[in-house]
Amino acid sequence: MRAMTRRALIIAVDTYDHSGLRQLGSPVHDVQALTGVLGDPQLGAFEVTVSHNQPAHVIRGEVADFFATAERDDVLLLHFACHGLKSANGELYLAGADTEPHRLTATGLPARFVNEEMTGSRANRIALLLDCCYGGAFAKGTVVRAAADAVDVQESFPQPQDRGRVVITSTTATQYAFEGEALAGSGQQPSVFTSAVVRGLATGEADANGDGEVDLTELFDYVLSQVRQRTSAQTPSKWESGVQGRIRVAWTPAASRITARPVPEQLAAQSAAPLVDDRLGAVSQLRAILLGEDVSAAAGALEVLQRMTSDDSISVQTSAANAIAEAQLRPTVPGVDLTEEPQQVVQLVGSALSRHFRATTTDPWLRIEQSGTALRVTVDPGALPEGYGELRGSISITTKIGQFSVPVLCRPAARWWPRATVGMPDLGFARRWQALAAISVVLCATTLGITGDMLHASSLLGLLYNVLLFGLLATGLVLMEREGSQRVVGHGIVTAYAAFFLADGVISLHGRSSAVAWLEFLAVVAFLAALGIRLWPLREVPRRLDLVPPTVRPLAWVPIGAAALQLFLLFVAIPSQEYGSTLADATGVLGGLLAVLPTAGLCLYAVLSRRLTADQNLFVRAALVTLVAPELFLMLSSLLMGPAFTYLGNDVWGAGLSAGWWVLLRAIVLAAQAGTTWVVLRGRLR
């Protein structure tokens, strides 16, 4: 039995083929905002899947798969942001991109189908959020997600009694779902309903009982209150059945989990004293508590100061507001400019209370990683819009004290590729990690078949070498499916193996033209293709190399000299005639170059590149270890075996050779090349 998972499917349709269905402005923003809070591991911790502007039959399949693959203990959340329509017999349909209002049975998604899939799912906890209209009309100057006539949503989603099912809608049966800026006319924010959902989860304001969790009941109560404050024409509704206990939607941010400790009674009384001077004295004492390290006491002082900002004395109001502002978190820079570099680290300073914060963004091209009071802000070139010009975004910082934004600017930079204009076709199984893993197994098997003689001659040493070789590959394949820095390491390891196997396949074909050699080469080609498909679309791919001269980095001369010596040794005679007079004779010129150039090129790029992001630095180090560690291990270990087995490098070995000095020389050159590069890379992280 697998562990419980939390999965969310967000379906948003804002563009419709039929002219009778008005284009919507909010769903795309709904997707961004909801994905941010639901997918945040510190908040919703959901595995979020997004379906945007898909035809009805595709949405049908996505909904079916979503519910069918669930296990009993899973938590499922399905969110719809689209038009709601009613058929002639009163049945509710949800509109896909290709839905035609007068052909709903053929082109729409019936609510009955969604309900049947919910009912048939094994998951015991399912939440359905519907942000669409159930009545049709157009208010002047208002964008609504309109249906033709009123429809009873509760009848469309009858609930089973043996499983926990909750349906929350943005409106009643006769109301319209207002878009985010409908009342202002711009439509550039999430809808009124979704805005309330996002705010309640992101800030923790929906956590009514303060237990650090937001369940569906708390979320609905909060959303109902927020929507009513925005517009009296929209009233969210909720139906539930079979719910035992709570269905947790999210955990609350750290800032909202701080429990305020009341200030001393004497100070509380002084804050409400009739004399202005007494109240100003209270502000001074409260300020000192607010700026202190005791966050519970600071939270209590904050509550009193916030109340005093409404004092009837302007001087008291101003002093209280200034004390609160002084305690608030603030960035050390006025804004983030990602024009020259695709990343920037922003330091935040403030009181102990304010240092419990959460940073979010709704801009799809921005990525934020929080570490203590530092934010690593990066731009994702793969998410940049087509033909983008100057982009302006923001980072929202939420603390117990309040919320503020840090502006972000991104201009087109020639050093980075724009988003690919040709999308990757649906290749099914070929895009899954299982395909790459299966090809890797075949490749390892053929490689072992080719190196059988070497394994026999090297005995235990060869076994250890292959364990190291294939163990690293397996580790890389696993890490590729992780998040953050682990994924970067995985990409570095597996990409290095692509270069290694390519050289090995070419060398094998040169030495022998057997069926096994050709099978290995074909497996190498398949591995390269599968890796390319898996990694697409590539992120942060340089448009051109931005290098500095080696005079700027004197240590660069070591890997430069090592690379030149490696190439020279390809054509220097080996003290044996078993493979020919040189390594190039044994491997073929192409095979020899493919064995040497990837490591040399990687080292030169690392030491001479003007700029390396932290991810690029980590990628290079992972690839470098992968390329160098097994080679050094086998060369140095073979020295201990004497003439019985000598590994010369580049997949060349022999027995009865007197080439210890040759092996030692190549090992020293390779170690100097890799070691110097590693030192430079570590230094560039500081």
CATH number for the domain spanning 183: value is 3.40.50.1460
Give this prediction's pTM: 0.48
Report how far residue 557's alpha carbon sits from residue 605's, in angstroms, rounded to the nearest whole number: 13
Report how far residue 273's alpha carbon sits from residue 122's, in angstroms, rounded to the nearest whole number: 61
Looking at the fold, whether 271 and 215 belong to one and the same domain comes out as no
Q: What is the per-residue pLDDT for 133?
A: 65
Looking at the fold, whether 550 and 563 belong to one and the same domain comes out as yes
Tell me which residues of the chain have a pLDDT lower than 50: 1-2, 135-150, 161-162, 173-188, 414-424, 539-543, 577, 579
Q: What is the DSSP letter of 138?
A: -
Burial class (CB in 10 A: 0-12, 13-18, 19+), 460: exposed
Question: Is 175 part of a structural domain of the chain?
Answer: yes
Question: Is 415 part of a structural domain of the chain?
Answer: no
Residue in 571, 569, 575, 573 with CA at minimum distance from that of residue 658: 575
The range of the structural domain enclosing residue 311 comes to 257-327
Looking at the fold, whether 64 and 138 belong to one and the same domain comes out as yes
Report how far residue 457's alpha carbon sits from residue 21's, in angstroms, rounded to the nearest whole number: 74
Residue in 34, 56, 326, 51 with CA at minimum distance from that of residue 191: 34
Q: What is the per-residue pLDDT for 270?
A: 94
Q: What is the per-residue pLDDT for 137?
A: 25
Helix axes 460-479, 614-638, angle to 10 degrees: 170
Looking at the fold, whether 88 and 209 belong to one and the same domain comes out as yes
Q: What is the per-residue pLDDT for 205?
A: 83
Looking at the fold, whether 459 and 321 belong to one and the same domain comes out as no
Burial class (CB in 10 A: 0-12, 13-18, 19+), 69: middle
Looking at the fold, whether 120 and 206 belong to one and the same domain comes out as yes
- Preceding amide of 537 cis, omega within 30: yes
Report how far residue 145's alpha carbon sits from residue 177's, in angstroms, rounded to the nearest whole number: 5
650 C-beta neighbours (distance < 10 Å), count: 24
Looking at the fold, whether 109 and 182 belong to one and the same domain comes out as yes
Instruction: Count up the domains in the chain and report the number.
Output: 4
Q: Could you say which of 327, 347, 367 is where a domain stops?
A: 327
Q: Which two tokens stand for residue 101?
A: 């209002």
Looking at the fold, whether 470 and 374 belong to one and the same domain comes out as no
Residue 296 near residue 259, CB atoms below 8 Å: yes
Report how far residue 589's alpha carbon sits from residue 376's, in angstroms, rounded to the nearest whole number: 45
Q: What is the per-residue pLDDT for 479?
A: 87
Residue 69 near residue 61, CB atoms below 8 Å: no
**Residue type at 268?**
A
Q: What is the CATH number of the domain that holds 364?
A: 2.60.40.10
Angle at 592 between CA 588 and CA 597, to 5 degrees: 150
Question: Is 665 part of a structural domain of the chain?
Answer: yes
Report how far residue 102's alpha carbon sits from residue 86's, in angstroms, rounded to the nearest whole number: 10
Q: Where are the alpha helices (DSSP H) in 512-549?
A: 515-535
Question: Is 499 part of a structural domain of the chain?
Answer: yes
Residue 604 near residue 557, CB atoms below 8 Å: no
Question: Is 278 part of a structural domain of the chain?
Answer: yes
Q: What is the per-residue pLDDT for 136?
A: 31
Question: Is 475 part of a structural domain of the chain?
Answer: yes
Q: What is the per-residue pLDDT for 124?
A: 86
Looking at the fold, whether 145 and 230 belong to one and the same domain comes out as yes
Q: What is the per-residue pLDDT for 145?
A: 44
Q: Could you say which of 283, 303, 327 is where a domain stops?
A: 327
Q: What is the DSSP letter of 8?
A: E
Report how far residue 467's alpha carbon sits from residue 513's, in angstroms, rounded to the nearest whole number: 26
Report how far residue 147's alpha carbon sits from residue 169's, in angstroms, rounded to the nearest whole number: 14
**Residue type at 30?**
D
**Residue type at 568?**
F
Q: What is the per-residue pLDDT for 156?
A: 54
**Residue type at 608?**
L
Q: Which two tokens stand for residue 74?
A: 């899973």
Looking at the fold, whether 606 and 498 belong to one and the same domain comes out as yes
**Residue type at 558?**
V
Question: Is 167 part of a structural domain of the chain?
Answer: yes
Can you list the positions of beta strands (E) in 224-281? 237-241, 248-251
Question: Is 367 part of a structural domain of the chain?
Answer: yes
Q: Give the 3-state secondary structure of residue 658.
A: coil
Q: Could you say which of 294, 327, 360 is where a domain stops?
A: 327
Looking at the fold, whether 158 and 65 belong to one and the same domain comes out as yes
Q: How far apart, in Å, are the Cα atoms of 674 and each of 87, 341, 464, 467, 561?
A: 69, 27, 22, 22, 12
**Residue type at 198?**
V
Angle at 632 between CA 627 and CA 637, to 5 degrees: 145
Looking at the fold, whether 349 and 400 belong to one and the same domain comes out as yes
Q: What is the per-residue pLDDT for 484?
A: 74
Report how far residue 279's alpha carbon sits from residue 300's, in angstroms, rounded to the nearest whole number: 16
Cα distance from N-terminal residue to C-terminal residue, the chain: 45
Residue 70 near residue 9, CB atoms below 8 Å: no
Q: What is the Cα 649 distance to its own chain's centre?
A: 39
